[in-house]
């Protein structure tokens, strides 16, 4: 989805698509708030928040749909939407309909403190600087 040169990330068109789909998640799921995220050459890191129902009720009130509570999505639904939409558009662009782009599962972690949130934000944003040491780097022998 891109390359890292001199610890700087350079996304290709597929990486830009992934980044765009990530940014559009709150348009599809209004009770989702996005935080730090980065598209890496062969994986993605992102933090999102599933907001409480009171925020959803306010958005429903504003859209004049009274007495309907917006159902909070499960994390798996949000991740599935993100993977499906990015795969669909990338596969159309490379004329490879139906080809898998993402691995089947994903790693999730509940962030329980401000300190943990800040540590994870820093990890995500500094990920390109540590690419050569990353276990997901294709040339890293510790992966195999």
Average pLDDT value for residue range 121-138? 78
- Spatial separation of the C-alpha atoms in residues 91 and 139, rounded to whole Å: 25
- Spatial separation of the C-alpha atoms in residues 113 and 115, rounded to whole Å: 5
Give 93-97's long-range contacts (Cβ < 8 A, gap of 24+): 93/13, 93/14, 93/17, 94/14
- Percentage of the chain beyond pLDDT 70 is 78
pLDDT, position 61 = 47
- Spatial separation of the C-alpha atoms in residues 14 and 4, rounded to whole Å: 15
């Amino acid at each position: 989805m891109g390359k890292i040169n001199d610890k700087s990330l350079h996304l290709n068109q597929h990486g830009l698509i992934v980044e765009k789909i990530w940014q559009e998640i709150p348009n599809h799921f209004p009770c989702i708030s996005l935080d730090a995220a980065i598209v890496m050459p062969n994986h993605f890191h992102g933090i999102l928040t599933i907001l409480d129902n009171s925020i959803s009720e306010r958005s429903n009130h504003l859209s004049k749909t009274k007495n309907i509570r917006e159902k909070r999505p499960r994390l798996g639904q949000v991740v599935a939407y993100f993977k499906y939409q990015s795969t669909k558009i990338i596969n159309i662009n490379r004329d490879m309909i139906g080809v898998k782009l993402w691995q089947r599962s994903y790693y999730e972690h509940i962030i329980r403190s401000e300190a943990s949130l800040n540590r994870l934000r820093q990890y995500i944003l500094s990920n390109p600087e540590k690419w050569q040491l990353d276990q997901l780097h294709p040339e890293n022998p510790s992966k195999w």
